[in-house]
Amino acid sequence: MSEALDEGPFFHGTGAALQPGDLLTPGFNSNYRPEVVMNHIYFTAMTDGAGLAAEVAALDGHPHVYEVEPTGGYEDDPNVTDKKFPGNPTRSYRSTAPLRVLREVTGWKRLSPDELQSWRDKLAALLADDSAEIIN
């Protein structure tokens, strides 16, 4: 699974407050389609990409970005690499194995209120589109 992929560092964005050593695991509802339970945990090698995920996930307005390390194999995220960005320029990955939190990252690019609303509008449109599929 992991051959020829990034070696990190890797990042995960979330609304959850975590501590170094905590494990992020699959089995939770998707941030993008809440009715879907995810079989994978997702991460990226780009802090701003993790920041975007954190902003969208943090409905209470407290997004967090963490540097993480995969504890097992990982692969390109087919939701972006197969559908939107062939070749994985977003450096997005997924794993069925947990991610270990190493530290919280600061200094990532925050979205403006207008940018955040635009992303939330896109997600609302995705939720309304029954044909839009997430590969979980």
C-beta pairs of 89-92 under 8 Å, 24+ apart in sequence? 90/44, 90/46, 90/49, 91/6, 91/44, 91/45, 91/46, 91/49, 92/42, 92/43, 92/44, 92/49
For every one of its 136 residues, what pLDDT tens digit does the chain have, with 9 covering 90 and above? 444 578 889 999 998 899 999 999 999 887 666 778 889 999 999 898 898 888 887 666 689 999 999 999 999 888 776 666 566 677 889 999 999 999 999 988 887 888 878 877 776 776 666 655 555 5
Q: Could you tell me the pTM of the whole model?
A: 0.79
Domain 10-128 sits in CATH at 3.20.170.40
Token digits of residue 60: 């209470």
Domain residue ranges in the chain: 10-128
Say if residues 84 and 122 touch (Cβ distance below 8 Å).
Answer: no
The two structure tokens encoding residue 40: 């994978």
Rounded CA-CA distance 51/134 in Å is: 20
